[in-house]
Amino acid sequence: MSNIAQKLIATHLVEGEMSPGSEIAIRIDQTLTQDATGTLVMLELEALGLDRVRTEVSAQYLDHNLIQEDHRNPDDHLFLRSACRRWGIWYSRPGNGVSHPVHMERFGRPGATMLGSDSHTPAAGSLGMLAIGAGGLDVALAMAGEPFWMQMPEIWGVRLEGELPRWVSAKDVILEMLRRHDVVGGVGRIIEYHGPGLASLTAMDRHVIANMGAELGATTTVFPADDAVRTFLASQGREDDFTELVADDDATYEITEEIDLSTLEPLIALPSSPGNVVPVSEVAGERIYQSYIGSSANPGYRDFAVAAEIVKGRLVNDGVSFDVNPTSRQILENLIADGHILSLVQAGARLHQAGCNGCIGMGQAPASGRISLRTVPRNFPGRSGTKEDSVYLCSPETAAASALTGVITDPRTLDMSYPRVSPPTRPILVTDLLVGPSPDEEAAAQELEKGPNIVSLPRFDRLTDRLELPVLLTLGDDISTDEIMPAGNRVLPFRSNVPEISRFCFEGIDASYPERAKETAERGDGHVIVAGRNYGQGSSREHAVIAPRHLGLRVVLATSFARIHRQNLPNFGVIPLTFANADALSSIVEGDVLVVEDILDNLRSGSPPTVRHRGERIEVAHDLTSREVEVLIDGGLLNWMKRRLGRAN
């Protein structure tokens, strides 16, 4: 009676009961890190005193920070290369591509678990894996052989019927899910797709859907390992890695849903949330500035090839910047070999290097006040690099059609036949830009290459029993990690330098926050931030916790938290509390002082601390486990782990 998610968890369960809401620990087979988060992971491995990673596969990708406007990014590339040699990690060189499709091409296998310091790690669920995004410190511990702790999710079974009509593709499937459920619909759940509609979806189609399950707030997404997965692995020369993994005939789910693929139409997410979805036909005709193809959300060969066929022999509108971002060197070489790159370039495309690029604000920012259509996973405010941006999320078909016309265009209205494309059955395989782990004797002698911008992690003190905390920020709903800790080429080069990157905290919301926070920390216990629902949605980047913590953040009091950010908070000694009555949020204003007391005994007994506002008690709650409480009291997961290993500060 088991579904796929239950089978994956059961075969990796180390501790706990598989009852929704209970804390469990699972063994991790593979890890994924990228350069925006991997530098901290490597510094954490150094702090742990690890000798060599203890996973089946650990891979480090250089895909986010590719712009080399000064020494900082290339210095970090050298640091990451030396760290990979030191600890036995696969190293994907700059230009080899985005972590998720490259990992799928080279390492993903059915039945494995993977933890990644990137929130879109669940894309690997397309191969029948249990792949979960997490904070870097959790990933570092998994690399050290420790299990990953989480609350057992509910399993949400989505049955697919029918087949996608012409001009509708996998991006429209996940946009339909977001249209129905918004950005919090998947919180506390694993989404498992099943049913006859799967037969028409390739492994890369499934990657598109699994990738953006993160935007629903889901723990992860899983698909069966069936003939589509076998075909994909065979095309990569890895059919021997295939193992069939399907749900039992009588499998059940805590939540059930159905999508008839044949009824879907082209959809688009309006600014500034992936959950703000409407049919393309409702906004057709609005003039655009940019049309952008690529990213981990649409990384497959067909996503570029179908766009190439749409624009072939035509010229994109002269008011449109048509940006094409290959997602792996292998996909780029195959698109070149098949003539699709020529079609794109002749149509006016601006071809960029294989990497994340504009998806995380690394170049390709849109003009202010103009619409940018993108096949990326997120459109949070300012993420594009333009503060007042207007980013719409859509399929490659919609993006290409709109590039031709200069306005948002329902691709079904184009005067042409739908170009059905298939990936090459024998693609060019690119493996030489992946550098394998060094032998043990070479690894032990490897020194870490630290440039001047690489700074050791700050140390955080143990939690005290009473805190008197001014409220420095009061925030609304759906605050993203991009708003807490911006990305982009101004900020991310400081990812290995916490004191420097902390200067950008909440820059787009209140640029005075870093200075006010430092002054508050110098005068007293630190500060508290108050927020609405789904605080910390989006990226897994732990900078969004560690930088505010460096500035004195001790408590976040919110209506609710996004999963990864909630897990990152106690990892760095910040108490996550929720309002027992959401109406209390409106009574707190910036500048108020909250007294938090009876902290240690209450947390250890399972109760929340006592919180007083203007002398009156505020009813609060928490969902910390007993293990997380001890982590929190120790001042964070690194302190807790070092104490367990007998390596206290």
Q: What is the tens place of the pLDDT at every residue in 538-548?
A: 888 889 999 99
238: in domain: yes
Is residue 620 within 8 Å of residue 559, measured between CB atoms? no
Looking at 241, 263, 285, the residue that finishes a domain is: 263
Structure token pair of residue 383: 């993420």
Please say if the pLDDT value at position 154 is more than 90.
Answer: yes
CA quadruple 247, 24, 603, 47: dihedral positive or negative? negative
CA distance 117 to 123: 13
Do residues 397 and 310 touch, judged by C-beta distance below 8 A? yes
Q: For the chain, percent helix, then strand, then coil, each to nearest 5?
A: 35, 20, 45
Kindly report, residue by residue over 88-99, the tens digit of the pLDDT: 999 999 999 999
The answer as to whether 115 is a domain residue is yes
State the average pLDDT over residues 587-602. 95
Structural domains counted in the chain = 3
Count of CB atoms situated within 10 Å of the CB of 500: 16
For the ranges 170-184, 187-201, 333-347, 446-460, which has the lowest average pLDDT? 446-460
**Of 578, 577, 569, residue with least CA distance to 637:** 569
Residues 150 and 277 in one domain: no
Question: Is 477 part of a structural domain of the chain?
Answer: yes
Rank 47-56, 132-141, 396-405, 626-635 by mean pLDDT and report only the highest. 396-405
Cβ neighbors of 240 (< 8 A, separation 6 or more) are none
pLDDT cut 90: percent of the chain above it: 79
Mean pLDDT for the stretch of residues 377-400: 90
What pLDDT does residue 534 have?
Answer: 94
Contact 554, 469 (CB under 8 A): yes
| Edge-to-edge strands, sheet with 113-116 | 130-133, 113-116, 30-34, 57-61, 90-92, 434-435
Torsion of CA 90, 219, 190, 104, to 10 degrees: -20
* Structure token digits, residue 19: 């009852």
- Same domain for 250 and 312? no
pLDDT mean over 451-466: 89
Question: The domain containing residue 392 runs over which residues?
Answer: 267-413
Any alpha helices (H) in 465-557, and if so which ranges? Answer: 481-484, 498-501, 513-523, 543-550
Using the predicted structure, report yes or no on whether residue 649 has a pLDDT greater than 60.
no
Q: Judge if 257 and 315 occupy the same domain.
A: no
Give strand pairing partners of 612. 595, 617
User: Strand 23-26's sheet: what is its strand order?
Assistant: 13-15, 23-26, 148-151
Asked if 628 and 514 sit in the same domain, the reply is yes
**pLDDT number for residue 1:** 77
Determine the pLDDT at residue 455.
86
Cβ atoms within 10 A of the Cβ of 455, count? 15
Per-residue pLDDT at 161 exceeds 90:
yes
What per-residue confidence (pLDDT) applies to 235?
A: 95
What CATH number corresponds to the domain at position 397?
A: 3.30.499.10
* CB-CB contact of 114 with 28 (8 Å): yes
Helix axes 637-644, 136-143, angle to 10 degrees: 20
Residues 247 and 167 in one domain: yes
Residue 133 DSSP code: E
**Mean pLDDT (whole number) for 543-563:** 95
Predicted confidence at residue 648, as pLDDT, reads: 52
Whether residues 16 and 154 share a domain: the answer is: yes
**Each residue's pLDDT tens digit, 222-250:** 999 999 999 999 999 999 999 999 999 99
461 within some domain = no
Mean pLDDT for 208-235 is: 97
Phi, psi values for residue 28, rounded to 5°: -110, 125
Secondary structure (H, E, C), 213-233: HHHHCECEEECCECHHHHHHH
User: Tokens standing for 142?
Assistant: 């998994």
The pLDDT, as a whole number, for residue 505 is: 95
Position 364 scores a pLDDT of 80
Rounded Cα gap, residues 46 and 613, in angstroms:
41
Domain boundary among 380, 396, 413: 413
Evaluate whether residue 432 is within a structural domain: no
Question: 495 and 405, same structural domain?
Answer: no
Task: Indicate the average pLDDT of the chain.
Answer: 93
Residues 184 and 278 in one domain: no
Find the CATH number of the domain harbouring 622: 3.20.19.10
Strand 189-194 versus strand 154-161 pairing type: parallel
Could you tell me if 496 and 43 are in contact, meaning their C-beta atoms sit under 8 angstroms apart?
Answer: yes
pLDDT at position 493: 81
Beta pairing, strands 390-393 & 434-435: unpaired
Q: Does the residue 453 lie in any domain?
A: no
Instruction: Give 54's Cβ-side CA count (13 Å radius).
Output: 11
- Token readout for 87 is 């600890």
Q: What pLDDT is stored for residue 359 in this prediction?
A: 86
pLDDT exceeds cutoff 70 at 647: no
Place of tokens 């459920």: 181
Chain centre distance of CA 50: 26
Shared domain for 329 and 190, answered yes or no, is: no
Q: Examine residue 434 and state whether it is found in any structural domain, yes or no.
A: no
Of the CA atoms within 13 Å of residue 256, those in its CB half-sphere come to: 6
Of 348, 382, 413, which marks where a domain is finished?
413
Average pLDDT for 54-75: 88
Tally: H helices and E strands in the chain: 22, 28
Query: What is the SS3 assignment for 295?
Result: coil
Tens-place pLDDT, residues 397-407: 999 999 999 99
The pLDDT of 616-630, averaged and rounded, is 94
In tens, the pLDDT along 405-454 reads 999 999 999 999 999 898 888 899 999 999 999 888 888 888 889 888 88
Q: The pTM is what?
A: 0.91
Mean pLDDT score, 593-621 = 95
On whether both 222 and 88 belong to a single domain, the answer is yes
Residue 527 sits in the same domain as residue 484: yes
Do 271 and 247 fall into the same domain? no
Nearest Cα neighbor of 571 from 616, 518, 637 is 637
Summarised one tens digit per residue, pLDDT across range 569-583 is 999 999 999 999 888
pLDDT in tens, 484-539: 998 877 887 888 899 999 999 999 999 999 999 999 999 989 999 999 999 999 88
Q: Is the pLDDT at 125 greater than 70, yes or no?
A: yes
In a domain, 372, yes or no: yes
